[in-house]
């Protein structure tokens, strides 16, 4: 195991950005940027033992600054959407940044995704990133201290530990927005990837991608991934939910919140790569890159529609305005702490 650090450029605000690479004994590696706490690359073996980066994104900092759709970035203070950019805590109404069509707060206004984090290696296989969001930033209450630790094990598991604490009651919902393509960053779309999600229900959304409050059964719908199926099998179905989002961009209500029971499994038949996802959070957002529009990316490859998929573990979208959802309002001094991991293996397809 080892961790290496190199310079990766400078932001427009003249802040230096560094790239850390964690390598394990099996030959796998994870590259992490201090800009956005970004998972810049993740190299895993295929069924023949050949290593390849399985995340889509950018080769340089300019791509992240100019063309990003959150590729690989940490997101928060509130991952996903808050309706009308407002919510209430203790009888007080808060108005937060409406950065999506002027109507919705998406990913907390993008603050954590575009910040330069402080980084400290932990031993030879983990990197701790720290960031302080000032009180009132983007309209959210309290100063929020955030830490994220990326760990790469010799068993080819990438573990992401999140923690945060505020000095005021506030909402906290953190995740990572990596777009995976298990065939490789240059392999086209992910429609033939075979996905299974342990979720009997999902949260349907309105035309603004805000949950209606209903927990709808996946049974008999294109959202049924309880049995493994290709991501592309039903993605073009005549279903209002899919038509509104041009594909999957929905929260699934997980059947389990356990660190040792997989909540989702993805298999890529050509490479033979398998990714198991574990989380202690109640939901995961499946996003299938529906609005990627031939964005220039790694190696000059264009990231087109469905070039990658995201599994963003989370509390449900718009939870502060949905009292029936599992809640994520934390008291002053109360710690938010959660773990998500992705474990990789291969099979002979």
State the catalytic residues.
177, 312
Q: What burial letters (b/e) apply to 53-66, b meaning 16+ CB within 10 Å?
A: bbbbbbbebebbbe
- Grouping H, G, I as helix, E, B as strand and the rest as coil, residue 300 is helix
User: Where are the extended beta strands (E) located within 46-110?
Assistant: 51-53, 74-75, 81-83, 86-89, 92-95, 104-106
For residue 220, what is the DSSP state? T
First to last CA, the chain: 30
d(CA 281, CA 330): 15
Of 152, 99, 96, 95, the C-alpha closest to 123 is 152
Phi, psi of 137 (to 5 degrees): -60, 130
Rg (CA), the chain: 19
| Block residue for tokens 């990231």 | 303
Coil/strand/helix, residue 85: coil
DSSP strand E in 219-319: where? 229-230, 249-254, 264-267, 273-279, 283-287, 295-296, 302-303, 310-314
Q: Coil, helix or strand for 260?
A: coil
* DSSP labels, 104-119: EEEGGGGTGGGSBPEE
Burial 86-114 (b: 16+ CB within 10 A, else e): ebebeeeebebbbbbeeebbbbbbbbbbb
- The span from the CA of 177 to the CA of 237, in Å, is 25
130 Cα distance to chain centroid? 18
């Amino acid at each position: 195991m080892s961790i290496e650090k190199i310079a990766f450029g400078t932001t427009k605000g003249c802040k230096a950005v560094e790239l850390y690479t964690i390598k394990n004994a099996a030959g796998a590696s994870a590259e992490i940027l201090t800009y956005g706490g970004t998972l810049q690359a993740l190299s895993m073996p295929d069924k023949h033992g050949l290593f390849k980066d399985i995340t889509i994104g950018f080769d340089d900092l300019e791509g992240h600054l100019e063309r990003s759709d959150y590729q690989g970035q940490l997101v928060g203070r509130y991952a996903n959407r808050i309706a009308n950019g407002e919510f209430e805590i203790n009888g007080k109404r808060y108005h937060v940044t409406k950065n999506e069509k002027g109507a919705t707060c998406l990913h907390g206004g993008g603050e954590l995704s575009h910040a330069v984090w402080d980084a400290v290696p932990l031993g030879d296989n983990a990197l701790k990133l720290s960031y302080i969001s000032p009180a009132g930033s983007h309209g959210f209450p309290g100063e929020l201290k955030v830490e994220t630790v990326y760990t790469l094990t010799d068993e080819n598991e990438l573990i992401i530990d999140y923690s945060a604490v505020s000095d005021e009651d506030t909402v906290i919902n953190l995740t990572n927005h990596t777009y995976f393509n298990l065939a490789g960053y240059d392999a086209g779309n992910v429609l033939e990837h075979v996905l299974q999600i342990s979720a009997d229900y999902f949260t349907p959304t309105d035309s603004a991608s805000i949950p209606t409050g209903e927990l709808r059964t996946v049974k008999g719908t294109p959202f049924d991934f309880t049995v493994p199926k290709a991501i592309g099998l039903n993605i073009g179905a005549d279903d209002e939910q899919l038509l509104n989002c041009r594909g999957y961009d929905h929260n699934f209500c997980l059947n389990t919140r356990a660190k040792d029971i997989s909540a989702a499994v993805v298999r890529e038949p050509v490479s033979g790569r398998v990714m198991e996802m574990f989380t202690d959070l109640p939901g995961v957002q499946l996003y299938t890159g529906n609005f990627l529009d031939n964005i220039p990316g790694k190696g000059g490859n264009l990231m087109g529609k469905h070039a990658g998929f995201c599994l963003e573990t989370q509390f449900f979208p718009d939870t502060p305005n949905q009292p029936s959802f599992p809640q994520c309002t934390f008291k002053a001094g109360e710690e938010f702490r959660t773990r998500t991991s992705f474990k990789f293996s291969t099979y002979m397809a």
